[in-house]
């Protein structure tokens, strides 16, 4: 495990810089804005970026099934984004890629539940969702994938340099490390990832149930791949958006505005959001619907 300065945006470059080795192609699953950014950055280094799944036709409200995935003939790796924050879509399974290393941008899902690390070649995650403050990235790399970085690229992008120096090749982001350590201890005190998973599942399910049970709110994502972390919803009448946000804020329910590309609302219910916060949101939503529905 490496603890690096910077965020996932740097990892979009670090993955091809380290994993391409003598290959020139990589496979990417395009399932939202974050995977789109990963693809754009990969094109700086890959001769060909194969898009082996593309859910843009559904406006990213679906996830491809395993059967949909047709790996190219000789990719250096397969990259996907288990959870996309803007539309709130996540994979309910880990893609099977055989001998090809699987790479995941877990920024918005890491620590939300247990994960079988052995299935991955590389896992990377910006800290700012479930780990700690922005400016720190956690990278888990399979040993045999370390040591093949392109040497014409910055030393800071070489897994091996970081691994050999125990993440201290440069002055590390010490305060962010410290805070992340406190979060890891907190997670263990809660009962670890299985306990966090139970809570997160319950938080998400009750919020989706409230949305689906109303005729006033709706969520467009296929039920098979709804995110536990990011729950977007729209109001039946968008003219009420401003009133919803203002009244919610008056109840200390903040940062609910949806991403500008999809509009509406978005409740990001990472580990830091307690179940009581979700309950309060649901209560407010029911009340708002009564008064405006």
Q: How far is the CB of 154 from a copy of itself (least distance, A)?
A: 4
Q: Which of 98, 171, 290, 291 binds a copy of itself (CB under 8 A)?
A: 171
Binding span for a copy of itself by CB under 8 A among 50-58, 108-116, 117-125, 164-172 = 164-172
DSSP code of residue 60: T
Burial (0-12, 13-18, 19+ Cβ within 10 Å), 111: buried
**Residue 133 touching a copy of itself (CB under 8 A):** yes
Instruction: Kindly give, in sequence order, each residue whose CB lies less than 8 Å from that of residue 223, ignoring residues fewer than 6 positions away.
Output: 208
- Residue 34 annotated to the active site: yes
Catalytic residue among 36, 129, 203, 228: 129
- Residue 279 annotated to the active site: no
Binding span for a copy of itself by CB under 8 A among 83-91, 141-149, 154-162, 193-201 = 154-162
Residue 121, CA atoms < 13 Å, CB-side half-sphere: 23
Q: How far is the CB of 176 from a copy of itself (least distance, A)?
A: 6
Q: Could you give the CA distance from residue 156 to residue 42 in angstroms, rounded to a whole number? A: 17
**Residue 232 touching a copy of itself (CB under 8 A):** no
Instruction: Kindly give, in sequence order, each residue whose CB lies less than 8 Å from that of residue 33, ignoring residues fewer than 6 positions away.
Output: 60, 84, 85, 86, 261
Burial 259-293 (b: 16+ CB within 10 A, else e): eeebebbbbbbbbebeeeebeebbebbbebbeeee
Binding span for a copy of itself by CB under 8 A among 37-45, 52-60, 63-71, 76-84 = 37-45
Contacts to a copy of itself from residues 5-34, by CB under 8 A:
5-10, 12-14, 17
Binding span for a copy of itself by CB under 8 A among 54-62, 65-73, 83-91, 149-157 = 149-157
Q: How far is the CB of 44 from a copy of itself (least distance, A)?
A: 6
Q: How far is the CB of 157 from a copy of itself (least distance, A)?
A: 7
Q: Which of 67, 73, 118, 174 binds a copy of itself (CB under 8 A)?
A: 174
Alpha helices in 5-157 (DSSP H): 8-19, 33-42
On whether the CB atoms of residues 216 and 284 are closer than 8 A, the answer is no
DSSP β-bridge partners for residue 49: 26
Q: Which of 24, 113, 135, 160 binds a copy of itself (CB under 8 A)?
A: 135
**Residue 2 touching a copy of itself (CB under 8 A):** no
Contacts to a copy of itself from residues 238-267, by CB under 8 A:
none
CB atoms within 10 A of CB 72: 15
Q: Which of 29, 63, 110, 136 binds a copy of itself (CB under 8 A)?
A: 136
Q: At what angle do helices 192-213 and 174-189 cross, to 10 degrees?
A: 80
On whether the CB atoms of residues 71 and 25 are closer than 8 A, the answer is no
- Residue 129 annotated to the active site: yes
Q: By the criterion CB under 8 A, which residues form the site for a copy of itself?
A: 5-10, 12-14, 17, 41, 44-45, 126, 128, 133-136, 151-157, 169-176
Catalytically annotated residues: 34, 105, 129
């Amino acid at each position: 495990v490496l603890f690096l300065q910077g965020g996932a945006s740097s990892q979009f470059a670090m993955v091809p810089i380290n994993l391409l080795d003598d290959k020139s192609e990589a496979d990417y699953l395009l399932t939202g804005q974050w995977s789109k950014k990963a693809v754009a950055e990969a094109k700086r280094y890959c001769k060909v970026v194969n898009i082996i799944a593309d859910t843009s036709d559904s406006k990213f409200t679906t996830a491809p099934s395993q059967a949909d995935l047709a790996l190219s003939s000789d990719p250096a790796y397969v990259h996907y984004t288990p959870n996309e924050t803007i539309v709130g879509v996540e994979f309910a399974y880990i893609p099977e890629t055989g001998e090809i290393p699987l790479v995941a941008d877990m920024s918005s899902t890491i620590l939300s539940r247990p994960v079988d690390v052995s299935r991955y070649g590389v896992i990377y995650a910006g800290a700012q969702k479930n780990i700690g403050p922005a400016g720190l990235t956690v990278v888990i790399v399979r040993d045999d994938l370390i040591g093949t970085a392109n040497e014409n690229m910055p030393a800071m992008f070489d897994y091996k340099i970081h691994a050999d120096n125990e993440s201290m090749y440069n002055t590390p982001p010490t305060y962010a490390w410290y805070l992340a350590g406190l979060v890891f201890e907190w997670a263990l005190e809660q009962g670890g990832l299985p306990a966090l998973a139970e809570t997160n599942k319950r938080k998400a399910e009750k919020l989706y149930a409230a949305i689906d049970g109303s005729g006033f709110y709706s969520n467009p994502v296929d039920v098979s791949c709804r995110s536990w972390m990011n729950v977007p919803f729209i109001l039946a009448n968008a003219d009420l958006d401003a009133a919803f946000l203002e009244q919610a804020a008056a109840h200390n329910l903040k940062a609910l505005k949806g991403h500008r590309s999809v509009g509406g609302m978005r409740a990001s219910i990472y580990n830091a959001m307690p179940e009581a916060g979700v309950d309060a949101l649901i209560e407010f939503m029911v009340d708002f619907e009564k008064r405006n529905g």
